[in-house]
Amino acid sequence: MTRFLRWALATLLAAALTAAAAQTVTVFAASSLTDAFTALAHSFEAANPSVHVVLDFAASSTLATQILQGAPADVFASANEVQMQRVTEAGLQTGPPTPFAGNRLVVLVPAGSGLRAFRDLARPGLLLVLAAQQVPAGRYADLMFDAAARAYGADFVQKVRSNIVSREPNVRQTAAKVALGAADAAIVYATDADGLSGVRSIGVPASLQPTILYPLVTLKGAAAPAAVRAFRDFVLSPAGRTALAGFGFTAPP
Amino acid sequence: MRARLSPGLLVGSGLVLMLLLVLPTLALLLRSARPALGSALLDPTVTAALRLSLTTTAVSLLATVVFGTPVAYLLARYAFRGKVVLEALLDLPLVLPPVVAGLALLLLVGRRGLLGAPLAAIGVHVAFTSTAVVLAQLFVASPLYIRSMKAAFRSTPRSLEAAAITLHATRLRAFRRVTLPLTLPAFVEGCVLTWTRALGEFGATIVVAGSLAGRTQTMPLAIYAELERNLDAALAMGAILTLAAFGLLLLFRRLTRSA
C-alpha cells in the first residue's frame, strides 16, 4: 500500500511538473476557421515547442456565450463583429480586437446539382439550409438576402426564404447537410467548400456580398500571457496571413 | 452486528451525489423564477416551439402505443428464431448516441437516402419536416415503451387469460379485460418514459429534421438556439420542461403506488 502511495505521489508530481513546463494557450475560434486554425496551431507549436495550443471550434455566438459564462479561453477569433462586441462590452479583453481575415459567401450545392446561378435559389421545392440567425454565417446570409431584395425585388427573396428548411447551429453543420446529400443548397463561406468532396460552389454576385470580417482578441486571465501574445502575433504575422490565404481567406482591409 | 447501515452513514456518503443530482435543477428554477420570464413565454419562437413539441410528441406517443404494444406482446409471449438478435436490435436506439441515431435516420430518409431517394422521386420529402421530428422521437423513445410492456406481459400469468377463455370470453376480450388491466402500471410507466424522452429529444432531431422555428424547432432545439439570442426565453422553456417532467414523474409515482 505504501509502495503504491509513493508511486502515485511520484506520478502526480511528475505530471504537475510537466504541466508547469508546458504552457497552454486555449483558442476559441469560429467554426469556419476549423481547418485554417488547426494548421496555424501546428505551425505555431512547431516553432514554440514549450507551448501547447488547445483549440475549440463552434459558432462564434456559441463561443461568445461560453466566454461570457466564464469559459477559460485565452484567445477569441470571431467570424463577425457582433459576437466580438458581446465579449468586449463585458470588458474581458486585454487589448482591442484586430481584424485578421476576410471571407465571402457562396451557394454550396451537391456536385451533380442542376443549380447553376444564384437566382436558381428561388426554384420551388428546393431544400435550402442556412446557419442560425445569431450565428455569423446566418447573419451574413440574411444581410445578403436584404441586398438581394433591393436588387431583384422582395418577391424573389420571398421565394428563396420559403425554401429554407433549416437554420443550423454553425456554418460547418450547414455545409455538412449538403455534403450528406440531405439538402439541395446551403449558404456558407467560400472557405467551407474547400475541404468537402462531392460538392461545388456557386458564386454570389459581388454586389450582394456583405463585408465579412474576422476579428481576434486576447482575453484576460491567461495562465501564460506571453505565449498568448505570441500566438496572436503569429496569426497576424506575414506567415500567418499566408497560411490563412492558403485556406481561401482574404486579407482584412 | 447491526442488520442495517446507520442512516447517518448512508446520508453522508450519498449526499455528494444527491446534491449533484438536485442542485443543477434547483439553480435553473431559482434563476427562472422571475416575472420577466412570464413575458418571455409569449415570444413567438417560444410559443411555436411549445406547440410543435406538444403535437409531435402526441403523435409519436400514439404511434408508439399503437405499434409498440403488439411488438411487446409478440416478444413476451412467443419464441422464434433470431429473437435474441431482434430484441437487441430494438434496444439499440436506447444506447446509441442520439446524434448517431439522427445521422442514421438522415441516411435513410434524406434526399439521397436509402428510402429518401425513391420517395423523393415520387415527390415525398421527409427530412427537414415535422414528420422527421416524429421519426426521430419514435426511434429514440419507443424502445422504452416496448421494454416496459414486454416485462409486464411476461409477468402476467397466461393461466388468467386461459381461465377467462374457458369462461367463454373471446381471445380479444380476455386480452382486453384481463391482460390489459394487469399491465396498466407498466403502460403508464412506458408512456411517461417515452413521452419525456421524446419531449427532450435533441441530437437526432437536429440532424435529421434541422432547426426551423414553427416547423422542426422543438423546445430543446429552441432552448439551444435561444441560449445565444434571448437567454430569458431559453430559461423559461427550460423551466417548463423541468416542471413538466417532474410533475409527470410525481404523478407516475402516485399512480403506481395506488395500483
Tell me if B53 is assigned to some domain: yes
Q: What's the Rg (C-alpha) of chain B?
A: 22
Query: Number of Cβ pairs closer than 8 Å across A and B?
Result: 66
- Compare all CA atoms of chain A with the CA of B212 and give the residue at the minimum distance: A166
Picking from A216, A208, A204, the residue whose alpha carbon sits closest to that of residue A244 is A216
- Residues for chain B: how many in total? 259
> Across the beta sheet with A23-30, what order do the strands follow?
A51-58, A23-30, A75-77, A212-218, A98-103
CA–CA separation, B218 and B202 (whole Å): 8
Q: Considering its fold, how many domains does chain B have in total?
A: 1
Residue bearing cell 421565394? A159
Average pLDDT over residues A201-219: 97
| B224 vs A216: which has the higher pLDDT | A216
Q: What is the mean pLDDT of residues A67-82?
A: 94
Q: Cell triple for residue B55?
A: 403535437
Say what the pLDDT of residue A123 is: 96
Question: Is A40 near chain B, with CB under 8 Å?
Answer: no
- CB under 8 Å to B254, separation ≥6 — which residues? none
Cβ of A166 within 8 Å of Cβ of B110? The answer is no
Q: Which residues of B touch A (CB under 8 A)?
A: 106-107, 110-113, 125, 127-129, 206, 209-213, 215-216, 224-225, 227-229
Q: Which residues lie closer than 8 Å to B124 by C-beta, 6 or more apart?
A: none
C-alpha cell of residue B145: 415503451
Identify which of B129, B210, B225 has the shortest CB distance to residue A129: B210
CB contact under 8 A, B212 and A167: yes
Contact A166 B128 (CB under 8 A): yes
What ipTM, to 2 d.p.? 0.72
A61: nearest CB among B112, B113, B228: B228
Burial class (CB in 10 A: 0-12, 13-18, 19+), A91: exposed
Residue A1, pLDDT above cutoff 50: no
Q: What is the C-alpha to C-alpha distance for residues B37 and B28, in angstroms, rounded to an integer? A: 12
The mean pLDDT of A155-181, rounded to a whole number, is: 94
Residue in chain B nearest A60 by alpha carbon:
B228
Name which of A173-187, A219-233, B153-167, B207-221 the model is least confident about. Answer: B153-167
pLDDT score, position A75: 97
pLDDT at A197 over 90: no
Please report whether residue B27 resides in a domain: no
Picking from A25, A97, A88, the residue whose alpha carbon sits closest to that of residue A252 is: A97
Top residue of A67, A69, A113, A127 to mutate, by most chain B CBs within 10 Å, is A127
Residue B259 has pLDDT above 80, yes or no: no
- At B33 the pLDDT is 83
The arithmetic mean of pLDDT across residues B233-240, rounded, is 92
- Angle at the Cα of A49 from the Cα atoms of A46 and A54, rounded to 5 degrees: 80
The per-residue pLDDT for A37 is 97
Task: Say which amino acid occupies B62.
Answer: L
Reported residue count of chain A is 253
Long-range contacts of A32-35 (CB under 8 A, 24+ apart): A32/A79, A32/A103, A32/A137, A32/A171, A32/A172, A32/A188, A32/A189, A32/A191, A32/A192, A33/A57, A33/A77, A33/A79, A33/A214, A34/A172, A35/A191, A35/A194, A35/A195, A35/A247
Query: A19 pLDDT exceeds 80?
Result: no
Whether B84 is covered by a domain: the verdict is: yes
Residue of B nearest to A128 (CA): B128
In which band, very low, low, confident or very high, does the pLDDT at B214 lie, cut at 50, 70 and 90?
A: confident
- Nearest CA to B214 out of A186, A159, A164 is that of A164
Average pLDDT, chain B: 89
Residue B13 lies in a domain: no
Q: Report pTM.
A: 0.81
CB A210 within 8 A of CB A190: no
C-alpha cell at B116: 429518401
Single-letter code of the amino acid located at A76: F
- Cell 428561388 belongs to residue: A122
Task: For chain B, give the percent of residues with pLDDT over 90.
Answer: 58
Q: What is the pLDDT of residue A221?
A: 92
Share of chain A above pLDDT 70, in %: 92
* Local confidence band at A29 (pLDDT 50, 70, 90 cut-offs): very high
Q: Do A165 and B128 touch (CB under 8 A)?
A: yes
Instruction: Give the mutation candidate from B228, B229, B232 for the A interface (greatest A CB count, under 10 A).
Output: B228
Residue B154 forms part of a structural domain: yes
The whole-number pLDDT of residue B229 equals 78
* CATH code of the domain covering residue B183: 1.10.3720.10
Instruction: Give the best residue of A83, A174, A177, A184 to mutate against chain B (max B CB count within 10 A).
Output: A177
Do residue A182 and residue B224 have CB atoms under 8 angstroms apart? no
Residue B253 lies in a domain: yes
Domain that holds residue B241: 42-258
* Alpha carbon distance A10, A7 (integer Å): 5
Q: What are the C-alpha distances in Å from A221 to residues A58, A204, A225, B44, B179?
A: 21, 41, 8, 39, 65
Helix B184-200 and helix B219-226, axial crossing angle in degrees, nearest 10:
30
Per-residue pLDDT band at B84 (split at 50, 70, 90): very high
Which residues from B are below 8 Å from A171, CB to CB? Answer: none
Q: B175: Cβ–Cβ under 8 A, 6 or more apart, which residues?
A: B161
Q: Provide the 10 A C-beta neighbour count for residue B114.
A: 11
Residue A36 Cα, gap to closest chain B Cα (Å): 25
Quote the percentage of chain B above a pLDDT of 70. 98
Distance CA(A104)–CA(A12), nearest Å, equals: 49
Instruction: Provide, as residue numbers in chain A, all residues whose Cβ is less than 8 Å from the Cβ of B210.
Output: 129, 165-168, 177
Identify whether B2 is part of a domain. Answer: no
Rounded mean pLDDT, B181-209: 93
Three-state SS string over A81-102 comes to HHHHHHHHHCCCECCCCEEEEE
Contacts B128 to A, Cβ<8 Å: 127, 165-166, 182-183
Question: Chain B contacts of A90, Cβ < 8 Å?
Answer: none
Specify if B3 maps to a domain: no
Assign B258 a pLDDT band (cuts: 50, 70, 90).
low
* Ramachandran bin of B88, using left for φ above 0, alpha for ψ from -120 to 50, beta for the remaining angles: alpha
